[in-house]
Amino acid sequence: MNKQVLQLSDAQRHEFQQDGLLVIPGFYDLEADIVPVQRAIHRVVGQVMKRHGIPDVRQTFSSERFDDGYQSLLALSRTYGSEVYDAVKQIPAFIRLLADFRHEMLFTALRPGAVPGIAAGGYGIRIDNPGEDRFRAEWHQDYPAQLRSLDGLVFWSPLVAITADMGPVQFCQGSHNNGAVPVLTMNSERSNKNGAYALHLKDEASLLERYTKIAPLTSPGDLVIIDFLTLHASGFNRSDRSRWSLQFRYFNFDDPTGLMHGWKGSFAAGVDFKHIHPELCAD
Ligand SMILES: O=C(O)CCC(=O)C(=O)O
């Protein structure tokens, strides 16, 4: 979207308020915003190859195949995949986009009067690899995982064209309207997961039944804005390509809950959610 014409219509604001979710097709400028991130990922994959003495025989960069070589790295060693995962969060073009003023403007358009902040540790590039179900985000709200403020927003955007077999993110339409859901923090079924990933919604099955689920198929340049209280989960990637996506999280310094706890971060910031919100811990 052209930087001069960033405006949300009344219909878009209404849709977000109603659904806790808003898809804005073609929000980012592909050449200016997205391709630089893809190009840098291509280079970082090359650096991981270099570090491990793997010959780089890839073709030159193209936006459609920016992750060339990544599947081969994964096949050689899962650890190489994790190195890429951690490294790509440090790409300057990605960090530039994180702090882009359009995110601040969207935040204040959707939360009039808010004082926007970037949730430290709340940004990243997800790589959902085919068949790796154990790294999926199970049904959750972002607030317990992030804290900072109850009225935060996730700006989610794909780096690849999302197809149904890639397991698009699923959302419970309108679920944010019921506020923060109590969670179980100890969960034997998720004993292989840590921190926020181990949280389990109380009465999950009956809660999820209440809502219509949607799983928008989006393309590079599209933006999905998610309320911190909207229930959502990763899909199951059954394709042969990794599902790459950007996540930027913003919060509101003027939110009463954030003001109460001092905009604390959650698990990733070393904070025990139970100490901040004992009333939301069902166990
Ligand atoms: O991209 C996904 O699979 C999940 C994303 C998510 O849960 C989030 O951004 O909060």
How far, in Å, from the CA of 21 to the mean position of ligand 1? Answer: 13
CA atoms within 13 A of residue 9's CA, in its CB half-sphere: 6
Give ∠ CA 269-199-190 in degrees, rounded to 5: 115
Q: What is the mean pLDDT of residues 23-31?
A: 98
Distance of CA 157 to CAs 4, 139, 169, 270, Å?
21, 19, 11, 27
d(CA 184, CA 157): 29
Q: Residue 26: count other Cβ atoms within 10 Å of its Cβ.
A: 12
| Nearest ligand 1 atom to alpha carbon 235 | 3
Kindly give, in sequence order, each residue whose CB lies less than 8 Å from that of residue 95, ignoring residues fewer than 6 positions away.
Answer: none
* Contact present, 152 and 123 (Cβ < 8 Å): no
pLDDT of 195 reads 73
pLDDT band at 2, cuts 50/70/90? very low
Give the pLDDT mean for 18-36.
98
Supply the pTM of this predicted model.
0.95
- Quick: pLDDT tens for 186-208: 755 655 666 777 788 999 999 99
Instruction: For residue 123, report the distance from its CA to the centre of ligand 1, in Å.
Output: 11
Do 191 and 199 form a contact (C-beta atoms < 8 A)? no
For the chain, give the mean pLDDT: 94
Q: Which residue CA neighbors atom 5 of ligand 1 most closely?
A: 234
Q: What is the mean pLDDT of residues 138-142?
A: 96
The pair of three-digit structure tokens given for residue 107, joined into one six-digit string: 């935040």
Helical spans, DSSP H, in 101-222: 101-110, 142-146, 204-209
Is 4's pLDDT higher than 50? no
Compute the distance between CA of residue 175 and CA of residue 20 in angstroms, rounded to an integer: 7
Single-letter residue type at 103: H
**pLDDT higher than threshold 80 for residue 17:** yes
CA of 237 to the centre of ligand 1 (A): 13
Confidence of residue 118 (pLDDT cuts 50, 70, 90): very high
To test the pocket of ligand 1, the residue of 199, 247, 250 to mutate (highest count of ligand atoms within 8 Å of its CB) is: 247
Atom of ligand 1 nearest to the CA of 136: 3
Q: Which amino acid is at 17?
A: Q
In 3-state terms, what secondary structure has residue 124? Answer: strand
- The H-assigned helical ranges of 201-255 are 204-209
247 alpha carbon – ligand 1 mean position (Å): 8
Residues with CB under 6 A from ligand 1: 126, 128, 137, 142, 154, 156, 169, 232, 234, 245, 247
